[in-house]
């Protein structure tokens, strides 16, 4: 094979690559001392000659005269960049009381080498798929290990995984536990071996219940949703970015139902959705702002693949939806929103996803995904692990999480119905305080 022609990107000069890390900028903001780093890592750790990408890391410290142990944050997703430190508050403020924080823009996101229609859209679909298969939890963790060795050598560090970040944490624990001092997980203990078909059957049931809660709290929302759906059906409206708005795309707003403020946000979005007999510009722009499937494309392309282990997913959420006719877009009273489900039609209706459509299909058909977890390693675990399991979590099934926890030696659980899936973002100081209690 001609490795040069088959490479994903041009290799960087060795003199540059050997530095691996460079401080791009340092600054102080809202009592936070912030350092920015870029590391250059292999796309494929098994075949590093195929090219390199960059991984961006934002380091936050509260004290320049004292170094604390590192806490590495693994963001939810997949396909989303790390949170930006806007204020010295929430979980970041609480974490800085005992750690220096590292916020990783997971490969392909944020300030790391981007993976989207602008950067790889003109590639051959097979090359796209071959490239994107390396953007799952296993390689995100390998990036973290690369960075750990560069920053602190053989010393272990602590990690915090939120949602999909918890999937990364258990992959880390399975295959690289020597690099870990302790693990904190919030709303993100993954099913270790479950097939997405079984996961989505439970997900549709939970989303149906969330719809019921939403419409009970805001009694006018159901009628407004039906009116909006009827208007979409009659007028075939266009969104501000040029995409056509379908009823199915309108239903995707149900992703908000799993957040602590999601019910209210949707209710107030719907209040002024109709203007002079048509959908208002403010509604259309608001809907567009709540959907990041195009700005973070491999949330759609790789979401189901984050469960795949030696089997194909074949657009599981779309197939299982046929078992739940109540989510039919033509249904009214009740009209139901979907949740964290990704569908093949999205690759047509989102303009920015169209260039990745064929690659997404190849990834959905892929059946030789490597294993993400090692049950033997987890059962013999010696790393302290604490985790918040949310009773009302719409995205990560509580029962699957508890089943998986039984396989992790020494894990300590905090089971709570006080928060939604985004409890770390909405009530971060309280959530971390409880996890610190379990650690201590």
pLDDT digits (tens, 9 = 90+) for 41-88: 999 999 999 899 999 999 999 999 999 999 999 999 999 999 999 999
Q: Which residues contact 275 (CB under 8 A, 6 or more apart)?
A: 281
- Tell me: the pLDDT tens digits for 229-248? 999 999 999 999 999 999 99
- Distance, CA of 297 to CA of 115 (rounded, Å): 8
Tell me the CATH number for domain 3-193+373-439.
3.40.50.1820
- Record the pTM: 0.93
- Distance, CA of 203 to CA of 196 (rounded, Å): 10
Is 280 a catalytic site residue?
A: no
- Tell me: the pLDDT tens digits for 369-424? 999 999 999 999 999 999 999 999 999 999 999 999 999 999 999 999 999 999 99
Q: What is the pLDDT of residue 1?
A: 37
Mean pLDDT (whole number) for 333-353? 97
Is 163 a catalytic site residue?
A: yes
Domain boundaries, the chain: 3-193+373-439, 196-365
What is the pLDDT confidence band of residue 252, given thresholds at 50, 70 and 90? very high
Q: In the predicted model, is pLDDT for residue 281 greater than 70? A: yes
- Tell me: the pLDDT tens digits for 203-239? 999 999 999 999 999 999 999 999 999 999 999 999 9
Helix 281-289 with 262-271: angle, nearest 10 deg: 160
Q: What is the pLDDT of residue 25?
A: 73
Catalytic residue among 40, 303, 421, 427: 421
Q: In the predicted model, is pLDDT for residue 21 greater than 70? A: no
Is 421 a catalytic site residue?
A: yes
- Tell me: the pLDDT tens digits for 24-50? 579 999 999 999 999 999 999 999 998
Catalytic residue among 122, 368, 382, 440: 368
Catalytic residue among 62, 82, 163, 174: 163
């Amino acid at each position: 094979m001609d490795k040069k022609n088959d490479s994903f990107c041009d290799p960087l000069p060795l003199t540059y690559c050997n530095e691996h890390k460079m401080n791009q900028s340092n600054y102080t903001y809202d009592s936070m001392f912030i350092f920015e780093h870029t590391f250059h890592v292999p796309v494929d750790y098994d075949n590093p000659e195929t090219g390199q990408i960059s991984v961006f890391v934002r380091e936050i410290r509260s004290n320049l005269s004292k170094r604390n142990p590192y806490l590495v944050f693994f963001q939810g997703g997949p396909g989303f960049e790390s949170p930006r430190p806007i204020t010295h508050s929430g979980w970041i403020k609480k974490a800085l009381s005992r750690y220096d924080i590292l916020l990783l823009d997971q490969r392909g996101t944020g300030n790391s080498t981007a993976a989207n229609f602008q950067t790889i859209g003109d590639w051959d679909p097979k090359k796209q798929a071959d490239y994107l298969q390396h953007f799952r939890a296993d390689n995100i963790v390998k990036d973290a290990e690369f960075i750990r060795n560069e920053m602190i050598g053989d010393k272990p560090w602590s990690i915090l995984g939120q949602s999909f970040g918890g999937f990364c944490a258990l992959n880390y624990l399975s295959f690289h536990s020597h690099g870990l001092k302790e693990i904190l997980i919030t709303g993100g203990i993954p099913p270790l071996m479950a097939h997405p078909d079984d996961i989505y059957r439970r997900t549709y049931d939970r989303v149906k219940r969330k719809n019921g809660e939403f419409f009970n709290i805001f009694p006018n929302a159901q009628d407004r949703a039906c009116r909006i759906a009827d208007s979409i059906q009659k007028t075939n409206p266009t969104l501000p970015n040029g995409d056509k708005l379908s009823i199915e795309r309108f239903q995707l707003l149900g992703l908000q139902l799993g957040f602590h403020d999601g019910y209210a946000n949707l209710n107030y979005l719907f209040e002024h959705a109709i203007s002079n007999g048509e959908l208002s510009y403010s509604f259309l722009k608001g809907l567009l702002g709540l959907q990041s499937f195009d700005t973070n494309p491999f949330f759609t392309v790789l979401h189901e693949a984050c469960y795949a282990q030696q089997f194909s997913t074949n657009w599981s959420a779309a197939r299982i939806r046929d078992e739940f006719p109540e989510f039919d877009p033509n249904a009214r009273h009740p009209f139901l929103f979907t949740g964290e489900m990704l569908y093949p039609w999205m690759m047509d209706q989102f303009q920015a996803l169209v260039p990745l459509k064929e690659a997404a299909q190849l990834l959905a058909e892929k059946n030789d995904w490597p294993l993400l977890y090692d049950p033997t390693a987890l059962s013999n675990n010696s790393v302290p692990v604490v985790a918040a399991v949310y009773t009302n979590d719409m995205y990560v099934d509580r029962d699957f999480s508890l089943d998986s926890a039984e396989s992790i030696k020494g894990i300590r659980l905090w089971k709570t119905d006080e928060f939604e899936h985004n409890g770390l973002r909405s009530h971060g100081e309280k959530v971390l305080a409880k996890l610190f209690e379990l650690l201590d």
